[in-house]
Structure 1
Amino acid sequence: MRNSYQLARLFRSPTKITNRIYSRTYQRMSTHKNLLRFDYDAEQIKKQTDALIEKSRKVQDGVAALKEEERTFENVVMELSYEESEFATLESNLTFPGYVSTSKDVRDAASAAEVSISQFGIESGMRLDVYTAVKSIKDKFYNDLQQDQKRLLDRMVLDYERNGLGLDEEKRNKVMELKKELSKLCVDFSKNISEDKTTLLFTEQELDGCSNDFIQSLEKDVDTGKRKVTLKYPEILPVMRNCKVEETRKALDHAKASQCQEVNVSLFEKALKIRDEISKELGYKTHADYILDVRMAKNADTVFKFLNDLRDKLTPGGKQELQVLEKLKGGTIHSWDYNYYTRLLKETEYQVDEDAIKNYFPFENVFNGLLSIIQETFNLKFQEVTNPETWHADVRLFNVFDNDSGDFSGQFYLDLFPREGKYTHFAAFPLQCHYIKKDGSRQYPVSAMVCNFTKPTATAPSLLKHDEVVTLWHEFGHLAHGFTTKSKYGRFSGTSVERDFVEMPSQFMENYCWEKQALERLSSHYETNQPLPNDLIDKMIAAKNVGVALFNLRQLFFALFDMTCHTNPPPINSGELYEKLRLEVSLIPNHKGTNGAAGFGHVMGGYDAGYYGYLYSQVFSADMFSEFKEKGIFNKDVGSKYRKTVLETGGMKDGLEILKEFLGREPESGAFLQSIGLTK
């Protein structure tokens, strides 16, 4: 998951709870210790993984062994549901250390556990005997079930049938072999990109405009003395944004556009053929329809309608932005120019200095501001746990309570700073799902936010760039989706929703980072304690939308390319299609003779027929936030409705149903267009 604090100067402590509520919630919390363990060594992880898999297999064996006349909803469907819910939490004890442990042996063991559990998941999903038992419950008792029971049963049956278990043996085996072949193509495609060694050499003069620190960080070629630049983003992006030498940017952009072209084009086009074949065997019109059947969008027609409607609304703004950039350059804007001239426009027209801005965002102040806003708006209370049991001394643990009742809701961990061997990006990890156990008690949800913010020093606190403030809010959106959930079944807990819905609560949170009222509460200069000046806030908000129509048209291009590839019958000439759509949709031409599909990792890395989801969630999260804009961004009534309707529900309802219930209408794109400055 694209699944992160001060009532600023008024209310610095997120743990400031009245004695009455603190006492009551503390006593309740004492009976709800989570099931997480962070003390396993490598040998214990291996042993516990084997035991967990064996226990799960025995439950499945028991269900499969039931005679038809013995089967009930409770001893088949609920038995499997209880088992998968417990499995999900115990799995976290074994795999999560692979991302955060300080021990390489433990990380390696956890990674191996993840592979074993993944393989067991494939095995479980192909068990015809268990599917037969589950399907018999649907055939016999479906009309007698409650709505939430029907949803659970429907999803179980659908999961099996999407693996081919509803087919006869010959077709089932064919689908299995095709999936194995497809898996290898995807692995090889991704491996080719990750292992690509393409390197370009430039003199320091050819890198003019890049910072001296960046240039000095680049490896020097022994023979020529030139600097090496690879196609990895930490190296290529600073050059594309800052280098004044157009030929340098052009050469790098061409190399990126043709990356792995010789090996990956054939893999991609073969994968398109296999995906089409699998989807037809499973009864779907296209691969896109197969993928979208379990997404919020439901079918390819809905996605194309959404994308083309958005394209019509973005294109006029994109053309205007292109004219501004062309005027700044004094010539045609090419693909290697966009990042450079967009950055130049921001600096010259808006004078936004990120280094100066970050002095107003010391981490603790931002974090306390975030918590206070969430407490106020969504009627929650946070309490930091003293001396918690965690995987590292720097990790913090918070309890979450309902503000009115004092009822315990869940927990979250914060792992904020880099260290050797730790996951290097930002992410929220669901560690313990919420569900109603056999005895009627609740298992409470627990999540972790893993970050890599700059560590505080002896002379300065951890200071966040504004985009890091946005990232913090984004990931906290995933946490909130987790720690507020009240789903009855573990498989629908928190962020266990459709993939094109899962980013909406997190992207919804990002909106606060561009609101003056929120920025005033989040900011406090680490030396003067003054909030961001109004004129600087105005500049930041204005600069936010520089080049935004062109940026989103580029996203639309990728989404339309993805959808077109996965709805048209093969064979497909991906190079011709890529070049045609790139110019028509993004308005900026591609390099002739290149095929960017060869480096488009998303379409072979789990986002096939799914790239539209980035825009889908962005547009509809803006629509949800418009309810707050209308009635007040800290409005408790709207916040309580959002918490109950969107967050607490988890996957117990379809995402579109949740969205319409919160909005009271069909979702639309108007609020998104307004948020990026294309409409008033």
Structure 2
Amino acid sequence: MTQDALAPLALPAVDDRDGWRALLETRSTGGLEAARALADGLRALEPGDPDALQRWNDLFVELSNAFAVCSLLAQVHPHAPLREAAEASEQELHRFRTALLLDASVFERLAAVPTEGLDDGARRVLADALRDFRRSGVDRDETTRARLTELSERASDLAQTFSRNIRDGAAVTRVPAAALTGLPADYVAAHPADAEGRVAITTDYPDTHPFLAFSTDREARHAVARTFFTLAPDNDAVLRELFDVRHERATTLGFPGWPDLDAEVKMIGTGEAIGEFVDRIAADALAASDRDVAVLLERARRDHPELEQVDVADSRHYGELVRREQYDVDAQAVREYFDFTRVRQGLLEVTGRLFGLTYTAVPDAPTWHEEVSVHDVSLDGQLLGRIYLDLHPRPGKYNHAAQFDLVSGVAGRQLPEGVLVCNVGRGRMEHSEVVTLFHEFGHLMHHVLAGRHPWVRFSGVATEWDFVEAPSQMLEEWAWDADVLATFATDDAGTPIPAALVERMRAAEEFGKGYYARTQMFYAAVSYQFHRDRPADLGARLHELSQEYAAFAALPGTHFHTGFGHLGGYTSAYYTYMWSLVIAKDLFSAFDADDLLAPDVATRYRDTVLAAGGSKDAADLVADFLGRPYDARAFRAWLEG
């Protein structure tokens, strides 16, 4: 069957709750039943039967389909009972996968597969499968396997609770209407005052971030920041247990701790190397960070002479003032060039031109919410897959930015379908939101372009976890290029954003890269050290790490960690964002900075890195593209420049 002959997954109408429940049941319960039957078939094979590997692939196609629908609906569907049902189904799937990877009979059938005659892809799939079995503890005694099952299921439950508490913990700060002084007119219009003369500022990004940047009311800024940094207080206890459970699982498997188990299958290799990387980047960024923070403090003292340091409630505001006054970049003026509708269309046109893709709007395609837009993606006239853009905040929705799978592409079997989930404004956008869209769209491109492998193991963003951000971070560069922005960033009169303004914006952004890197290393240190040390008082340890790594002071009484969603999925590996950035800077060095839309390099990158998915180690993919192993020269030049 050709790719063009495949059809996208049929979704129910937006208001058809019974239809959505039926879809969830079909993909989760139906997929689980199919996976169980395939596992039974694997056990029934004679040892050495080469068909075992294909059945393993079939089994994981079913699991992938089930997990994708459950995970997505749990985070985006407007109907809370359906989200809860999806979460419950997801737990059932986790329990099955845990038991499967501890099943000695299935392991034995795969271990007995003869490797003679297997191609490189099949050998890689087999090696990865056997490694996953051993990392799950399949070769341990029955008592140990039983305990590992309990730990895995409990960790899954806790991670889901942690994510749910953040998603459902959205809060509101009510501040005087006068605190909107300094905010753009469209923001003010969207926040009418109540009978008491107060306005509601939610913890959604399009509400909180502009307020912290533009409000001239320092007291109100601090109130909004305190709310933002105290989300989901119940997560403190959830995290402490989660760290303990992960640690016990790792030590039961013979690792010193969770970071070592987690790092074994990543480019970085060991938990100790994570700590060394975090400290090295933090040290490299210290001089630039101190220099730039001093500029912010000097500016802040003009308004508040008593200030001794810049805190997280003031950093965004004074960063904005410095950029406006010293770099002649007024973020409110910049917003006039970033109307959401034009940005969304421009994103499609730029990436289409860059990667040779055609996007066809499917306005009548059913979705889970009326604001979701749908596009089919084609390459050279061949249908590759389908993308869904769910870009605005709403109650009960995942409140960060991420790409979710709906369907993993498998050659000749099913088209890749991906979902971009963001929380950007519906009208004028911050340029930082534009950058976020480009970043997350990079994941979406990776998912769709790498959806043509026969092995589901290689489909989409299936590389080592500390590489997956690199393609997305590199795509951010296109959101900073004047020629690229001029194709869609126009004011209401149709005038493109001036190149001189983009140059000043870039200079202003470069101003803060030192404290950006320090902030990222603070997050990475929290992620790593919380898992390594499992402190009894997470809040106290957070404060210590803030003082050691962060560029800006935390607000007393806040608990950033309880709303730090990456502790659920990324676990001890938040370092991966900066690790990937090192690689992204090197990848970008191969492009012509004077013509970012030149097709030759982009096509080679598309086919060598993105379309390859997980079929090779990430270091090999990068070397294939660059013609050499990656290095940190471009990153250091950026950081020191």
Q: Identify the TM-score tier after normalising by the shorter chain.
A: 0.7 to 0.9
Match of 1:88 among 60, 64, 88: 64
**Mapping of 1:564-579 within 5 angstroms?**
564-568=529-533, 574-579=538-543
Q: 1:557 is matched with which residue?
A: 522
Q: 2:5 is matched with which residue?
A: 31
Match of 1:341 among 296, 318, 327: 318
Counterpart of 1:305 in 2: which secondary structure?
helix
Larger Rg: 1
Deviation at 1:174, TM superposition (A): 2.2
Deviation at 1:87, TM superposition (A): 4.9
* Deviations 1:215-235, CA, capped at 9 Å, x for gaps: 99488798xx87777877666
Counterpart of 2:440 in 1: which secondary structure?
helix
**Mapping of 1:532-611 within 5 angstroms?**
532-568=497-533, 574-590=538-554, 596=559, 599=562, 601-602=564-565, 604-611=567-574
* 1:632 to 1:342, Cα distance in 2 relative to 1, 3 A: same
Match of 2:436 among 471, 479, 483: 471
TM-score with structure 1 setting the length: 0.79
Q: d(CA) in 2 for partners of 1:517 and 1:609? A: 39
Q: 2:640 is matched with which residue?
A: 679
Counterpart of 2:403 in 1: which secondary structure?
strand
Match of 1:137 among 110, 114, 118: 110
Deviation at 1:318, TM superposition (A): 0.6
Deviation at 1:668, TM superposition (A): 3.4
Q: 1:660 is matched with which residue?
A: 623
Match of 1:272 among 239, 243, 246: 243
Q: d(CA) in 2 for partners of 1:184 and 1:495? A: 24
Counterpart of 1:545 in 2: which secondary structure?
helix
* 1:128 to 1:472, Cα distance in 2 relative to 1, 3 A: closer
Match of 2:273 among 282, 302, 314: 302
Deviation at 1:538, TM superposition (A): 2.1
Q: 2:95 is matched with which residue?
A: 122
Q: d(CA) in 2 for partners of 1:416 and 1:230? A: 17
Counterpart of 1:172 in 2: which secondary structure?
helix
Q: d(CA) in 2 for partners of 1:101 and 1:192? A: 16
- CA RMSD between the two structures: 4.0
Q: d(CA) in 2 for partners of 1:242 and 1:73? A: 64
Match of 1:641 among 580, 600, 604: 604
Q: d(CA) in 2 for partners of 1:386 and 1:255? A: 39
For the pair 1:491 / 2:462, whether they are aligned, the reply is no
User: Could you tell me whether the CA contact under 8 Å between 1:557 and 1:582 is conserved in 2?
Assistant: yes
* Deviations 1:319-350, CA, capped at 9 Å, x for gaps: 11122112212342232432221122122223
Q: 2:304 is matched with which residue?
A: none
**Mapping of 1:206-245 within 5 angstroms?**
217=191, 237=209, 240-245=212-217
TM-score with structure 2 setting the length: 0.83
1:606 maps to amino acid: G
Counterpart of 1:399 in 2: which secondary structure?
strand
* Deviations 1:108-136, CA, capped at 9 Å, x for gaps: 44652453244133223313785433344
Q: d(CA) in 2 for partners of 1:197 and 1:375? A: 36
Q: 2:613 is matched with which residue?
A: 650
User: Could you tell me whether the CA contact under 8 Å between 1:409 and 1:444 is conserved in 2?
Assistant: yes
Higher mean C-alpha displacement, 384-393 vs 646-655: 384-393
**Mapping of 1:348-367 within 5 angstroms?**
348-362=325-339, 365-367=342-344
Q: 2:491 is matched with which residue?
A: 525
For the pair 1:431 / 2:396, whether they are aligned, the reply is no
Match of 2:19 among 6, 17, 41: 41
Deviation at 1:609, TM superposition (A): 0.6
Larger RCO (CA within 8 A; separation ≥ 6): 1
1:315 maps to amino acid: L
User: Could you tell me whether the CA contact under 8 Å between 2:260 and 2:270 is conserved in 1?
Assistant: yes
Q: d(CA) in 1 for partners of 2:425 and 2:528? A: 39
Deviation at 1:649, TM superposition (A): 0.8
Would you say how many aligned residue pairs link Structure 1 and Structure 2?
A: 626
* 1:513 to 1:142, Cα distance in 2 relative to 1, 3 A: same
2:585 maps to amino acid: A
User: Could you tell me whether the CA contact under 8 Å between 2:347 and 2:438 is conserved in 1?
Assistant: yes
Instruction: Give unmatched runs, 5+ long, in structure 2.
Output: 302-306
User: Could you tell me whether the CA contact under 8 Å between 1:432 and 1:445 is conserved in 2?
Assistant: yes
Counterpart of 1:309 in 2: which secondary structure?
helix
**Mapping of 1:100-249 within 5 angstroms?**
104=79, 108-109=81-82, 112-127=85-100, 130-139=103-112, 141-142=114-115, 145-183=118-156, 186=159, 217=191, 237=209, 240-246=212-218, 249=221
Higher mean C-alpha displacement, 637-646 vs 325-334: 325-334
Q: d(CA) in 2 for partners of 1:522 and 1:61? A: 54
1:562 maps to amino acid: S
Counterpart of 2:589 in 1: which secondary structure?
helix
Q: d(CA) in 2 for partners of 1:471 and 1:446? A: 20
Counterpart of 1:360 in 2: which secondary structure?
coil
Instruction: Give unmatched runs, 5+ long, in structure 1.
Output: 1-26, 456-461
Deviation at 1:90, TM superposition (A): 6.6
Q: d(CA) in 1 for partners of 2:100 and 2:163? A: 29
Identity of aligned residues (%): 26
Counterpart of 1:277 in 2: which secondary structure?
helix
Q: d(CA) in 2 for partners of 1:396 and 1:256? A: 32
* 1:237 to 1:449, Cα distance in 2 relative to 1, 3 A: closer
Match of 1:501 among 426, 449, 467: 467
